[in-house]
């Protein structure tokens, strides 16, 4: 009797564990981040984080925020030019990555503005950032991405 109960519990455990693994532990194959990098500036200045995000799934996604233990604050920003003036605006609504689309966060355009580095960064460091997204059904989804610290000087 004991044995049977144990076997049932074990089976249940495996089933639940398997389900849990299938929803949360499987590698995300529909969202790709390419070339994640942070451009280093001297001193304690706001830095820019860049990457390419590719939504290979069939649902639109919205990048709503980013967070990291290494920065006090991260904002999604867009630089723009008009009438010879440059300015920067916070993207408070986030950025939509439509199904099948690729969006570049690149110099002179969209970028993460990283404020209050908690400790000095050095070229070549890897810094984990969490990108927080929601899909069209308001399901939240986060990914951890290692950003490489690169020099401001062009090669």
* Binding region for other proteins (CB under 8 A): 39, 41-43, 45-48, 73, 77, 79, 81, 84-88, 107-108, 111, 113-115, 152-154
Smallest separation (angstroms) from other proteins to the CB of 115: 7
Q: Give which of 45, 101, 112, 117 is closest to 78, Cα–Cα.
A: 112
Q: Give dist(CA 94, CA 24) in Å, integer.
A: 24
Smallest separation (angstroms) from other proteins to the CB of 154: 4
Smallest separation (angstroms) from other proteins to the CB of 129: 15
| Minimum CB distance to other proteins smaller for 48 or for 97 | 48
- Burial tier of 99 (Cβ tally within 10 Å: 0-12, 13-18, 19+): middle
| Minimum CB distance to other proteins smaller for 100 or for 109 | 109
| Minimum CB distance to other proteins smaller for 55 or for 114 | 114
| Minimum CB distance to other proteins smaller for 31 or for 95 | 95
Smallest separation (angstroms) from other proteins to the CB of 110: 9
């Amino acid at each position: 009797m004991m044995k049977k109960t144990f076997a049932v519990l074990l089976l249940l455990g495996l089933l639940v564990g398997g389900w849990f693994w299938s929803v949360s532990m499987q590698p995300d194959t529909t969202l790709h981040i390419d070339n994640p990098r942070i451009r280093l500036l001297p001193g304690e200045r706001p830095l820019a984080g860049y990457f390419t995000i590719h939504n290979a799934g069939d649902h639109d996604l919205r990048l709503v925020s980013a967070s990291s233990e290494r920065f006090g604050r991260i904002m999604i920003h867009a630089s723009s030019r008009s009438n010879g003036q440059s300015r920067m605006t916070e993207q408070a609504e986030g950025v939509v990555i439509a199904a099948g689309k690729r969006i570049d966060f690149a110099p002179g355009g969209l970028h993460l503005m990283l404020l209050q580095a908690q400790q000095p960064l050095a070229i070549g460091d890897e810094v984990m950032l969490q990108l927080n997204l929601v899909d069209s059904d308001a399901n939240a989804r986060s990914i951890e991405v290692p950003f490489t610290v690169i020099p401001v000087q062009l090669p």
